[in-house]
Structure 1
Amino acid sequence: MKHDISAGSVAQRRSIRAALGSMTATLLMLASLATFAPASAETGARHGSRTAILCAYEPEWQALLPSLTDRQDATYAGVTFVLGRIEGTPVVLIESGISQVNAAIATQTAIDHYNLDGIIVMGISGGVDPDLHVGDVVVPTQWREYLDSVFAREQNGQYTLPSYFAVPQTEHFGMIFPQPVRIQKPMGGTDLHTWFPADARLLDAARKVSADVTLENCTADRKCLPSKPRVIVGGNGISGPAFVDNAAFREFTRRAFQAEAVDMEAAAVAHTSYMNKVPFLSIRSLSDLAGGNAGSNEMEAFQSLASRNALAVLRALLVQLRSER
């Protein structure tokens, strides 16, 4: 009997040791996961939600940074994220680098590491609408990637799309036939998307401040614009991997897309934000006319002024959004 009890006790002790060992392994694994969790996730939890402000180009960045207080830096995927406040609003600033790919990577990385309540692209662009002028600020309702396109073959003096591509929704520019973007659906198949929308609430806030923002008219070296800049909320923006400085292509984009402005990043941010269900807006000030002016491109002369005008609208927007909370 004594022997049976001892055997039972040994078996019980072994069972307890096994259970404790399993629990210890689990606890160690959880501790390991906590140790190696991205610091950014902890940062997001500590600081709550933030508004991401994305620039692509150094003059935009230099205009933006002086508005920031309480600066803290972090780097993920080779991109520097600068945390702080602008007009009392918690923000994370991102200098993505020029190009749609850079902008998309920076946007997704920010979404993955921070609790974002919105993403705003701020900076300069080329003007497409002939009624707009250098220094004006445009806040488009939607954005499109204009070089998601087919470069068609020429046959008998005509360019023709292969039969398996979408029927053209716009006119083409020579061999370039713009196409919708194909987006994978969670359960398989694809959806076709032509335009990616700006967030309605952000657009409404932009409209509320548009008439009261003071925009600059002259550069630091006293080169002044012929007309007073203004803020236009609405219309279409387009993005692509090319810097546009060609009058014929500018005219095509106005006819085909009714575009107000053309840049190299905003549509990629809009696309990424759409996929992640994060509110998006883009504030673009015209530094040049994308080839539409009579002389040489004016971007170098007016890029700093245009950057500051975009910043003025951004700051007014953040104040308005803060008042609505």
Structure 2
Amino acid sequence: MRIGVIGAMQMEIDNLKKSLENSSVEEISSVKFVKGTIGDVEIVAAVCGVGKVFAAICTEAMILTYQVDRIINIGVAGTLCSDLGVMDVALANQVVQHDMNTSALGDPVGLLSGIDQIYIPSDKKMTALLAKCLEEKQIHYTIGTIATGDLFMHEQKQKQKLHERFEAVAAEMEGGSIGHVCYMNKVSFAVLRSISDGDGGAMDYAEFAQQAAKIGIEIVLAFISRLDELE
């Protein structure tokens, strides 16, 4: 099995690289892909960059070049609900692109016109196994909708609006795009986001982002060690 891991920032991938054996690097579309193995599992990891377009470029290149079987998107996010605080984890059962808006044409906000869907579901088995890994490490998490858009959500009114419109539990800038590309290519995906910012917004992010990013790698490594449970 070949697993793809995508993070938006270098700090989200660095610790994973340390665990790879026989690693090599290849650059495609200005994205550096690191290949290696963890035990018998082939891993392809990449830092996609911040935002939906960078995430889509990385995901499409990873799928077409390396034929990955599954993709996990890790990183940090801002909480949109009272259940999640800083250093907790949001696990997506579906993703939505909150800034996709053709409502002037009569469409619901978030509709992806080409596929006529608002929400793209993540893989149930992958999500369940990630949840099991979180429980065993006693990390508090919530499963729900993760909302994606090209905007750092820091104002409470913005967050409340997203939560009410999509029942979203967290907001970030890549997961919905990665899910969209995976859906179009029929590749299973999961999105796991450590909460780096709460009511403090950008101030919380600056203080906690690095710590929160480490949680994602810890869970991915646990997930990889238990891949046989997906069969």
Normalised TM-score (structure 1): 0.67
Of 188, 193, 196, the residue aligned with 2:120 is: 196
Whole-Å Cα distance in 2 between the matches of residues 250 and 87 of structure 1?
41
1:179 matched residue in structure 2: 110
Query: For residues 165-189 of structure 1, what are the alpha-carbon distances to aligned partners after superposition, in whole Å with 9 as ceiling and x for unaligned?
Result: 22x4xxxxxxxxx230111xxxxxx
Which structure is higher in strand share? 2
Q: Percent identity at matched positions?
A: 26
2:222 matched residue in structure 1: 316
How many residues get paired?
231
Whole-Å Cα distance in 1 between the matches of residues 207 and 128 of structure 2?
32
1:5 matched residue in structure 2: none
Letter paired with 2:58: A
Alpha carbons 1:245, 1:297 under 8 Å: kept: no
Query: For residues 180-203 of structure 1, what are the alpha-carbon distances to aligned partners after superposition, in whole Å with 9 as ceiling and x for unaligned?
Result: 0111xxxxxxx4110011012211
Query: SS where residue 18 of structure 2 aligns?
Result: helix
Whole-Å Cα distance in 2 between the matches of residues 86 and 261 of structure 1?
30
Per-residue deviation at 1:314?
1.2
Whole-Å Cα distance in 2 between the matches of residues 296 and 108 of structure 1?
30
Larger Rg: 1
Whole-Å Cα distance in 1 between the matches of residues 110 and 174 of structure 2?
18
Per-residue deviation at 1:323?
4.9
Alpha carbons 1:213, 1:316 under 8 Å: kept: no
Query: For residues 123-143 of structure 1, what are the alpha-carbon distances to aligned partners after superposition, in whole Å with 9 as ceiling and x for unaligned?
Result: 111111122110011211000
1:155 matched residue in structure 2: none
Whole-Å Cα distance in 2 between the matches of residues 213 and 113 of structure 1?
34
Letter paired with 2:173: M
Quickly say closer, same or farther: Cα 1:99–1:296, change in 2 above 3 A.
closer
Alpha carbons 1:57, 1:98 under 8 Å: kept: yes
Of 140, 158, 168, the residue aligned with 1:230 is: 140
Of 124, 133, 138, the residue aligned with 2:90 is: 138
1:58 partnered with 2:7: no
Of 56, 74, 93, the residue aligned with 2:45 is: 93
- Structure 1 stretch displaced more, 266-275 or 57-66: 57-66
Unaligned regions of 5+ residues in structure 1, if any? 1-48, 151-160, 169-177, 184-190, 215-228
Unaligned regions of 5+ residues in structure 2, if any? none
Letter paired with 1:242: L
2:70 matched residue in structure 1: 118
Per-residue deviation at 1:255?
1.0
Per-residue deviation at 1:320?
1.7
Per-residue deviation at 1:147?
0.2
Per-residue deviation at 1:207?
2.8
2:182 matched residue in structure 1: 273
